[in-house]
């Protein structure tokens, strides 16, 4: 897992860490029982404060993605398949909404959009 | 770690010091072991006096300073505190090697090979005299000493002022490496608040000898919002809530405590505030209001 932080996104650093770990879990890059880097180790690697990584891990634990085992570290919990599917579906919706907005703005019809969707679906992308 | 008393590396309680022209007024600061605290305030706010009281150099008129549960200035405490001051207390004619030999006599946990390694890593020649060292090198030399005597608490006074962006980045990296060990704690004063944004866990803001805020960095950023807009939109009551209010060309700016933002007219621009802006607006306000 690689965490890439932006200094200028306006998204708090702990939120960026949280989102990327969450993503890695939902997409299966991190699997159940995988051990996350230690709070201090991650803070050192990312050059962020210890409170920042603590907050990210605490939020992930509250949301049921990881469990903190006292003295051992933070382990990934089994992936919630329904949640992962819901997350993927939301992303598909977001992208489609963006496509529809562009289509409406430029006078492209629903039929044309559907045709494009079918075409792209059949292609190997 | 020996029980609950060890969880605070530093506790400053009600620290008061009177000078003819200046009053350090009941300063409270605590740092839990294993964390970094940034100490911010305009020049003359009393930061250096506070740090000197923490180091036992200045004797307080009232209040107490406890480091690792012991009094400031105690021999056992000094062994565990690494100091980086604006200007090192070493004679200008000494070489880096002289400094190391002196430190070896004073510190029980001194590591001569460790010091040699640090000098090497920082690119400081052992035969260089203090008088020949640049500002950045003087900071690094003091750090080399602190890291070689097994300090558990680093106290740094404006370590990044006068350093270029590369040297500042190196220093921040060293602090991150230092606190990777959970027994290590850092207190550093700075007026380059950018140095704090990622590095500091906690922040203490000092104005006119009084602590205006001391707590998590994030809590500080969330306590205020920057607000700007058309002066005509403000009622006198709104205006009274704005800290550091200033108006030019019919447009005002300032900041409001986050809990007062909802009461403001809706068509003003409100946005997150930086630490720099907090310092500036508080300085402009005649009476800094307590958070």
What ipTM was reported for this prediction?
0.81
Residue A34 pLDDT > 50: yes
Query: Which one has a higher pLDDT value, B78 or A9?
Result: B78
Q: Which of B34, B172, B177 sits opposite A50 (nearest CB)?
A: B34
**Residue limits of CATH 3.40.50.300 in chain B:** 4-220
| Chain A: residue whose CA lies nearest to B35 | A50
How sure is the predictor about A9, in pLDDT bands with cuts at 50, 70 and 90? confident
Nearest to B157 by CA among B122, B132, B192, B128: B192
- The pair of structure tokens assigned to A84 is 């992962």
Residue A91 pLDDT > 60: yes
pTM of the model: 0.84
**B123: helix, strand or coil:** coil
Best to test chain A binding among B168, B176, B219 (most A CBs inside 10 Å): B176
Query: Which one has a higher pLDDT value, A57 or B87?
Result: A57
CA-angle at B172, arms to B170 and B176, nearest 5°: 115
Mean pLDDT of chain A: 91
* Contact yes or no for B217 and A51 at CB 8 A: yes
How sure is the predictor about A124, in pLDDT bands with cuts at 50, 70 and 90? confident
Alpha-carbon dihedral of residues B182, B184, B190, B195, nearest 10 degrees?
A: -40
pLDDT of residue B6: 47
Counting as low any pLDDT under 70, the low residues of chain B are: 1-6, 286-291
The Cα B7–Cα B4 span in angstroms is 6
pLDDT of residue B59: 95
Q: Which of A10, A12, A41 sits opposite B180 (nearest CB)?
A: A41
**Chain A partners within 8 Å of B187 (Cβ):** none
B226 in contact with chain A, both atoms CB, cutoff 8 A:
no
Query: What is the share, in percent, of chain A residues with pLDDT greater than 90?
Result: 72
Query: What is the share, in percent, of chain B residues with pLDDT greater than 90?
Result: 72
Contacts 24+ apart (CB under 8 A), A88-93: A88/A26
A40 in contact with chain B, both atoms CB, cutoff 8 A:
yes
Q: How far is CA A21 from the centre of its chain?
A: 7
**Chain B partners within 8 Å of A40 (Cβ):** 34, 179-182
DSSP state, B131?
A: G
CATH superfamily of B4-220: P-loop containing nucleotide triphosphate hydrolases (3.40.50.300)
The Cα B12–Cα B80 span in angstroms is 17
Q: Which of B35, B180, B217 sits opposite A44 (nearest CB)?
A: B180
Please provide the DSSP assignment of chain A as one string.
Answer: ------SSSSS-HHHHHHHHHHHHHHTTSS-TTPBPPPHHHHHHHHT--HHHHHHHHHHHHHTTSEEEETTTEEEEPPP-HHHHHHHHHHHHHHHHHHHHHHHHHTT--HHHHHHHHHHHHHS--
* Contact yes or no for A49 and B182 at CB 8 A: no
Query: Under a CB-based contact definition with an 8 Å cutoff, are residues B141 and B96 in contact?
Result: yes
Kindly state the average pLDDT of the residues A90-103: 93
Best to test chain B binding among A37, A49, A50, A58 (most B CBs inside 10 Å): A49
């Amino acid at each position: 897992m690689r965490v890439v932080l932006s200094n200028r996104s306006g998204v708090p650093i702990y939120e960026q860490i949280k989102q990327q770990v969450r993503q890695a879990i939902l997409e299966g890059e991190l699997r159940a029982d995988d051990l996350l880097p230690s709070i201090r180790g991650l803070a050192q690697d990312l050059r962020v404060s210890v409170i920042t990584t603590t907050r990210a891990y605490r939020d992930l634990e509250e949301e049921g993605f990881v469990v903190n085992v006292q003295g051992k570290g933070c382990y990934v919990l089994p992936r919630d398949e329904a949640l992962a599917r819901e997350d993927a579906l939301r992303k598909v919706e977001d992208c489609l909404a963006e496509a529809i907005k562009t289509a409406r703005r430029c006078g492209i019809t629903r039929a044309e959009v559907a045709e494009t969707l079918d075409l792209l679906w059949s292609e190997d992308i | 770690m020996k029980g609950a008393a060890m969880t605070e590396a530093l506790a400053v309680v009600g620290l008061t010091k009177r000078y003819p022209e200046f009053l350090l007024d009941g300063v409270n600061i605590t740092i839990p072991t294993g964390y970094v605290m940034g100490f911010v305030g305009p020049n003359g706010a009393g930061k250096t006096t506070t740090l000197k009281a923490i180091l036992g150099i200045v004797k307080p008129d009232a209040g107490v300073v406890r480091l690792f549960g012991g009094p400031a200035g105690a021999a056992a405490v000094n062994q565990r505190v690494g100091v980086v001051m604006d200007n090192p207390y070493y004679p200008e004619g000494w070489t880096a090697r002289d400094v190391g030999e002196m430190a070896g006599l004073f510190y029980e946990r001194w590591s001569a090979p460790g010091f040699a390694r640090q000098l090497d890593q920082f690119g400081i020649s052992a035969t260089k005299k203090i008088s020949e060292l640049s500002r950045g090198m003087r900071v690094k030399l003091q750090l080399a000493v602190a890291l070689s005597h097994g300090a558990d608490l680093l106290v740094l006074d404006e370590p990044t002022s006068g350093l270029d962006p590369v040297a500042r980045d190196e220093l921040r990296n060293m602090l991150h490496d230092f606190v990777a060990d959970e027994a290590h704690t850092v207190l550093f004063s700075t007026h380059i608040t950018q140095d704090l944004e990622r590095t500091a866990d906690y922040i203490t803001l000092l104005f006119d000898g009084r602590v205006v805020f001391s707590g998590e960095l994030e809590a500080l950023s969330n306590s205020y919002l920057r607000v700007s807009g058309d002066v005509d939109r403000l009622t006198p009551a709104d205006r009274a809530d704005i800290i550091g209010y200033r108006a030019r060309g019919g447009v005002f700016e300032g900041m409001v405590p986050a809990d007062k933002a909802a009461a403001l007219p809706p068509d003003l621009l409100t946005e997150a505030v930086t630490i720099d802006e907090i310092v500036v607006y508080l300085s402009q306000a005649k009476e800094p209001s307590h958070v």
